[in-house]
Every structure is written in C-alpha cells, then in structure tokens.
C-alpha cells in the first residue's frame, strides 16, 4: 500500500537491507586489529625522529596526542556502539551530514586506507631489504641501495606486491581467518616490543645513573614538543580501522567501545615505554646525550639504541618492524575493503562492490579491487608524496565524524541503543573538531603538498559524484514517477511538499515569495511504499500523480508563476525530499509546521532555508485583490532581492487612506542564527501592501538599561528595514534578564504576553530564540498552539558549529 508522506521514517536509514556480513570476531580480535593499526611500523620508525625533536619530553608529546585523539575516539566509540555496520565514519557522515558529505568522506577514507596499506607494504619490503643486506643474502645492489633479483628486478617491489597479495588472499578467505592471522602477527609483534622494553628496564635497573639521561628533559623547548606531536599524531588514530569491524564483531554495543579504549591505552603506554627505555637505558660514547644520539640516527634511532641495550638489538627492531608492518597491512586491507563495501551497498560506488562471497561470506569484490589498487600504488607510485596526504584526509574525516555525532544525537535522540555515550556532550566533539582542524592547519604550514594532493583527490571525487554517483543514488532510492511543468528555470527556487489531504494549503505563501524573488515554485509529491515493495511499481502511480497536480498548476499559472511538479516513489520520504533539494538546487523549502517539527532529520540535513507554516488554512490574504498593474509588472518594478517598493497606489490599489484596513504582521526578532531569513520573510510579506509591520526585538540586557540601549538599536533596525525596502515599521524592544533567559518558563510567558499585546494577524518567528527551539521545545510549541493567528517559523540553513561561530562573531563585531 502506498502513501504520500513527508514525515520522519520510523527507523534510521543506515540499517542494511541486503548483503549482510557474518559476526565472527571477538573482543580480542578487534583489540588486536586496533593495536596493529596504531603501532604499524611507526613505533620503530617515528619514535627516533620524535625523540630528536623533543628529547625526553617526547613522552609528554605522546600523552598529549593521546589526549587530543581521545576527543574523537569517544565519538567513534559512541557511534560504533549504536550503529555497528561496515563503513564506520562514512556511514555516520551519511546519517548525520547532508549530501555530498557522505560520498566525499567515503571517497577520502577509501583512498587513505589504501595509501596506508601501500605504505605498510613498502615499509615491510624496506625492513626486509635492510635485514637481508645485513645478512648478505644478496650481492646485487641497485643504485638506491635496493637488492636486485637476477640483477634487474628490485626485490623491495616484488616483496611489497607479494605481501599485498598475501593479505588480500587472507581477507578474501574469511573474516575469521583474517582475525586469527591478525592475532598471531600482533602477538609476535608485541612479544618483540616487550623484549626490548624488558631489556631496557633491566639495563636501567643495573645502572643507577640512568636518571641523568633525563636531566635535560625538554632540550628543544615547547616548540620541540609541538613538532614531535605533529610528526606522530596520526599513529594514534587507529579507531577508524576498529569501527570497520562493526558488522563482523560479536556484541558490538559492548565490544567496539571497549576495543577502542583498550587499544588506545595500550598503544600510548607502549610508545611511552619504548621512548623511555631508549633514552634511559643507553650511555653513548663521547658524553653525547642519549636523546641526541637517537635523534641523529633519524628513522634508525630506535634500532641504534636497541643495539646498545640488548644483543642483536638491531635485528630485534628490524624483526619488530617487519612484523608490525605486516599486522598493519592486514588491518588496513580489511578496513579499506569495508569502506568500499559500504559505499557499494549505498550506491556511492558500483553496487557490485557490496557483493558477498557465497562461501567465505566476505565482500570479495571490494577486497580484490582494494588489494589491486594497493599493489599498484606499492609498485610504482611516489608513495612518499602521496602518503603525507593521508594524514590530512583522516583529519578531515574525523572532523566530519564529530559534526555527524552532534547531528545524529539531534536526529535520533534515544531511538539508538548506545553502548557508550560521550560525556559533556556536545562540548567533547566540538573540542575534537577544533583540534583536528588545528592539526590540519599545522600540516598545511609544514607539508603544503599534502593539502594539494588532498584537494585534487576531493575535486576528482566531487566531479565523479556530480556526473555519475548522485544520479545512481536517485535512481535507486527515489526514482521519478512523473515530471511536469515549464521548460524554463528561475534562479530562485521554492519547494512545496505536496499533501493529498490539502494540496493547496501552502500555495499562497509560495506565490508571495516567488513574486518577490522572481522565482519558481516546485511541487514535490513523495509516494512512500513499504520496504518489500519494489520501487519499479511506481509507474502505476504516474497517471494519478499527473491528475493531482492540475489544480495547483492552474493556480500558479493564473499568477504567472513558473512552476514544476515532481512525483517520486521511495521507501524513505525524507531521503527523497533531501535528494530533491540537492538535485533541483532548491533555495527555500516551504512545508507545513507539523511536517518539519516531527522530522528532525529533515530539520538537520536540509541544505536550504525553510519556512514552515502553522495554521496555513487560515483565510488570511497575502495578495491585494485589486491591482492597476499586472503581477509581472509589479515584480519587475523593483530589484527582486533588495530593491525599494514602488508606490502601492500605482501597483496594488492601496493608499495611505486604507492603512486602517491593513492586517498586523508581528515579527519576533532575536538577532540569532535565523535573523536573516526572518527579515527577508518579513520583507516578502510586507511588500504585498496588506500589512502593518511590528518588530518585537529581543535583546539581552536589563530593564534599567532600556533607555540607553533603545536609540542605537532603533537606528540599527531602521537601517536593516530600509535596506530591505521596508519603511514605517514599528519597533518594540524586549530586554531579557539573565534569569528570564535561563528559564524557559519565564521566557515563554514573557514572549506570549508580548505577542498577545501586539494582537497579530500573522506572526513570523525564527526557528529558535535564545537557546530554545520553536520546533522542539514543548513550552514554545505550546505557545504556538495557543495562538489563533497563522505563524511562519523561519529556519536558515547553516553548517553545524560553523553557523554558531558565525553568529558569535557577528555579535562580537556588533559590540
């Protein structure tokens, strides 16, 4: 049975409908995946240069990096427990941010995971090359110090490709095999690390003078610590790999948060201990400080220190590096394939990517293709240049996830079953956003090429999305049943959500706005069908959809308004609306108040301004009945956005002597994030010539300061109104005390009494006032219910957090 609806879907749309993976991983398996991804070869390769930059204070750098990454790790733990599905960050961005963020995040994540895997394969080959050279296994050495097979074939390239092929095969065979292999490799890796740590601690125990190695604790100052942080921060971001196991781990609600926090804690301790023993357990000749000795060796610093700590220490480090890179290669092969699998499932990559092997129960096409690209990168591309972009890409992905975490809480609230909830929400994810952006800016300053590569890759992805992916998404999730209307298009586009019960209830508001902006009106009807009904059945609704549009078309044509009609069929009406807003480049969504109020996803993810109308059935007139000029002449008589109103006597048949016949338009104006759309809506309605406007300006302050604030604010309001083409507007100011602002009950009573005193025939308010929402707070909703006049609730589109920052900046500059 089909229904036409624009209400909120009953379940989160992330839930998979097909192509399920098998839950075969336990907590230990997932912890090992996280440790393998975070240690990689970095613990042996990056720790040495980091010590050279920060000295003994490298331990502080590691702790600060872990603290910084904890802010984002908590968002991953929360979302990973509530939405445990392959795709991780890509999946949550899809649920919590508007298009095309999801595709771009997946596009970036897939690339970054593949680059990381290629880098681990090359690092493994490099470690093996160094080990074989020390053992003199090969005598043919190339110009770059690379061993050669048959005198012509670089051994490191062969080994890199072979290692990728081996772990691609392991991942292809099954998740259980992948987990067991990862466990074995990671246990060996940890054994070698503990051997080095144990030997170092014993050496320090037998040499009481080891404390002198830490006497100059921060030789390079704060700048050295910051530089070491910038070098090593990416080593602690392995939780993105952990959450990719979400669809294959047992009891994800419990195990994913635990795995994230256990692996992060373990890795931080291991990094600190390796740095601690490397500095404290060696006593270089010539009196050179141990930190300087290690730093002078660069990437071989830990190997050089190990040689002084334990017999065959260099071989232990080389062996540890070999095993660590293999463990990380296994983890990134797994994670890159899951990102591609999730994108294929949602038609953000070819749907074949979501195919699951009938026997092995693995996403075999995603695994094979990811492995192939990884091997190509490892064999010939300049990975040194490409790899530096992976850090920026992950930082941008983490920023998107933090933003998505804030929105997902808003959209779903308690509908999701969380195994972990971030404390001090939303402060923690907001801090995470600023920290990740700060680190990305640091890389812009220190490695500008990383940003160039990132921008190029994102630009390619955006082009692919616009040309191909978005069309495929629409074909699958919300295909068009019928499309009617004029061939011409206008720059300003208004979207009305069609409701069969009362299809023309919003038309008069759309006509008013269209005339003021020389715009067009697009009407969308979404035919919602159950999940089990194929969307191809939509063709049966084509004729009835066309017939239903005829009365609306006639009404719009009568007013000379360019119009179009779209009918779509979908399992999720909200997704159809959001897709239409993007496809049609909609500037303004016009909806019934209850439609928007009950749909938090539409509130949060719509990428246009919105006007929602309460009591739209009221007989209130928005157009003058008599005119001496046509509507088209009226529109052309002034600038469509900020022009001056022509004389009403000449265009609308109203003169000053008829002011007593005008209705009262009351505007609640609070200088908040929705102020711009409130003022523009006021202008659109006022220019009909049918209203006297009263603006109730809400300001923070105390009543005793009313007089000293009154005149400056009046001048500011008058300037804004004149700029928008409104003159003769009446202003009344409402000053909020701190007590009133902090109490929603007191605020509501004050606003209601002020509105009632103004006796409006039409009320315009922003979607929020102070920190309270007219769409979600039950006190303000009750206030609107008690009003007898129509109300327009105006909501501006803004990016989460960014919109609030812009508002704060405006307030500061206004002061």
- What is the pLDDT averaged over residues 158-174? 90
Q: Which of 399-403, 715-719, 748-752 has the lowest mean pLDDT?
A: 715-719
Question: Looking at residue 467, what DSSP letter applies?
Answer: I
Determine if the peptide bond prior to 322 is cis (ω within 30°).
no
CA-closest candidate to residue 24, choices 270, 250, 317, 274:
250
State which H helix or E strand residue 591 sits in. strand 588-592
Residue percentage of the chain with pLDDT more than 90: 41
Per residue in 461-473, pLDDT (tens digit) is: 999 999 999 988 8
Distance CA 82, CA 95 (A): 12
Per residue in 292-311, pLDDT (tens digit) is: 999 998 878 898 899 999 88
Distance CA 390, CA 443 (A): 11
pLDDT of 725 = 61
Q: Does position 644 have pLDDT exceeding 70, yes or no? A: no
Q: Which residues contact 427 (CB under 8 A, 6 or more apart)?
A: none
Distance CA 146, CA 338 (A): 34
Distance CA 553, CA 555 (A): 5
CA-closest candidate to residue 261, choices 66, 394, 43, 63:
66
Token pair recorded at residue 174: 């099954």
- What is the pLDDT averaged over residues 559-577? 91
Higher pLDDT, 205 or 814: 205
Sign of the Cα torsion 544, 550, 556, 561 reads: positive
Token pair recorded at residue 384: 């040194």
Task: With H, G, I as helix, E, B as strand and everything else as coil, classify residue 227.
Answer: helix
Per residue in 19-69, pLDDT (tens digit) is: 577 888 899 989 988 898 888 767 888 888 899 999 999 999 999 999 999
Helices marked H in 559-696 — which ranges?
Answer: 573-583, 593-597, 600-605, 631-636, 648-651, 675-686
Residue 372 Cα distances to 165, 173, 379, 703, angstroms: 8, 16, 11, 71
Q: Residue 626 CB: number of other CB atoms within 10 A?
A: 7
Per residue in 83-114, pLDDT (tens digit) is: 998 888 999 999 999 988 999 999 999 999 99
Question: Looking at residue 222, what DSSP letter applies?
Answer: H
**Per-chain mean pLDDT for the chain:** 83
pLDDT of 790 = 92
Distance CA 192, CA 316 (A): 7
pLDDT of 809 = 53
- What is the pLDDT averaged over residues 200-227? 91
Cα within 13 Å of Cα(681), Cβ side? 33
């Amino acid at each position: 049975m089909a229904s036409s609806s624009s209400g909120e879907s009953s379940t989160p749309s992330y839930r998979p409908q097909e192509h399920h993976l098998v839950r075969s991983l336990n907590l230990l398996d997932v912890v090992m995946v996280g440790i393998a991804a975070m240690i990689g070869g970095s613990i042996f390769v990056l720790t040495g240069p980091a010590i050279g930059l920060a000295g003994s204070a490298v331990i502080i750098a590691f702790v600060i990096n872990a603290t910084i990454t904890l802010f984002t790790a908590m968002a991953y733990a929360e979302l990973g427990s509530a939405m445990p599905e392959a795709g991780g960050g890509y999946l949550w961005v899809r649920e919590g941010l508007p298009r095309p963020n999801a595709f771009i995040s997946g596009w970036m994540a897939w690339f970054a995971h593949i680059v990381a895997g290629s880098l681990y394969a090359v690092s493994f080959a490099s470690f093996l090359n160094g080990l074989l050279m020390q053992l003199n296994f090969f005598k043919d050495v190339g110009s770059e110090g690379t061993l050669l097979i048959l005198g012509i074939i670089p051994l490191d390239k062969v080994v890199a490709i072979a290692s990728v092929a081996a772990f691609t095969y392991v991942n292809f065979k099954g998740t259980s095999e992948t987990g067991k292999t990862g466990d074995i490799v990671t246990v060996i890796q940890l054994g070698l690390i503990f051997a080095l740590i144990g030997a170092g601690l014993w050496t320090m125990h037998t040499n009481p003078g080891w404390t002198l190695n830490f006497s100059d604790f921060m030789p390079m100052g704060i700048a050295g610590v910051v530089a070491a942080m910038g070098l090593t921060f990416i080593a602690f971001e392995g939780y993105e790999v952990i959450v990719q196991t979400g669809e294959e781990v047992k009891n994800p609600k419990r195990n994913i948060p635990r795995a994230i926090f256990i692996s992060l804690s373990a890795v931080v301790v291991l990094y600190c201990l390796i740095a601690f023993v490397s500095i404290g357990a060696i006593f270089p000749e010539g009196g050179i400080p141990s930190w300087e000795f290690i730093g002078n060796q660069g990437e071989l610093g830990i190997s050089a220190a190990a040689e002084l700590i334990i017999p065959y220490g260099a071989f232990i480090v080389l062996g540890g590096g070999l095993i660590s890179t293999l463990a990380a290669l296994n983890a990134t092969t797994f994670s890159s394939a899951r990102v591609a699998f999730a994108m294929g499932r949602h038609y953000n990559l070819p749907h074949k990517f979501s195919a699951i092997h009938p026997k092995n129960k693995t996403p075999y096409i995603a695994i094979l293709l990811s492995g192939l690209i990884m091997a190509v990168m490892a064999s010939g591309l300049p990975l040194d240049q490409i790899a530096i972009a992976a850090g920026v890409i992950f930082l941008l992905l983490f920023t998107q996830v933090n933003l998505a975490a804030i929105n997902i809480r808003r959209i779903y609230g308690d509908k999701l079953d969380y195994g972990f909830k971030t404390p001090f929400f939303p402060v923690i994810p907001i801090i995470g956003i600023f920290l990740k952006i700060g680190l990305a800016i640091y890389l812009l300053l220190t490695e500008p090429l990383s940003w160039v590569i990132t921008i190029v890759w994102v630009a390619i992805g955006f082009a692919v999305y616009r040309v191909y992916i978005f069309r495929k998404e629409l074909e699958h999730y919300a295909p068009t049943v019928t499309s009617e209307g004029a061939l011409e298009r206008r720059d300003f586009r208004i979207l009305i959500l069609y409701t069969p019960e009362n299809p023309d209830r919003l038309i008069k508001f759309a006509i008013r706005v269209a005339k003021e902006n020389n715009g067009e009106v697009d009407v969308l009807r979404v035919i919602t069908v159950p999940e089990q009904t194929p969307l191809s059945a939509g063709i049966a609704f084509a004729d009835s959809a066309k017939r239903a549009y005829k009365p609306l078309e006639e009404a719009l044509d009568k007013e000379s308004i360019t119009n179009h009609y779209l009918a779509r069929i979908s399992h999720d009406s909200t997704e159809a609306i959001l897709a239409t807003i993007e496809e049609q480049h909609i500037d303004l969504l016009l909806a019934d108040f209850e439609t928007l109020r009950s749909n938090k996803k539409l509130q949060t993810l719509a990428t246009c301004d919105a006007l929602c109308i309460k009591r739209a059935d009221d007989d209130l007139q928005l157009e003058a009945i008599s005119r001496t000029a046509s509507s088209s002449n009226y529109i052309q008589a002034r600038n469509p956005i900020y022009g001056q109103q022509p004389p009403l006597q000449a265009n609308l048949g109203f003169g000053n002597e008829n002011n007593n016949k005008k209705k009262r338009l009351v505007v609640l104006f609070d200088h908040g994030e929705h102020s711009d759309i409130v003022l523009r809506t006021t202008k659109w309605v006022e220019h009909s010539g049918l209203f006297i406007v009263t603006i109730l300006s809400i300001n923070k302050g105390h009543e005793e300061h009313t007089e000293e604030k009154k005149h400056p604010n009046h001048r500011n309001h008058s300037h804004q109104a004149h700029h928008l083409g409104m003159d003769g507007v009446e202003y009344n100011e409402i000053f909020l005390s701190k007590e009133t602002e902090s109490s929603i009950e007191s605020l509501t009573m004050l606003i209601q009494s002020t509105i009632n005193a103004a006796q409006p025939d039409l009320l315009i308010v922003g979607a929020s006032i102070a920190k309270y929402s007219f769409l979600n707070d039950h006190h303000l909703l009750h206030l609107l219910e008690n009003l007898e006049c129509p109300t327009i609730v105006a909501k501006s589109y803004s990016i989460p957090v960014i919109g609030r920052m812009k508002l704060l900046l405006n307030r500061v500059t206004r002061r």
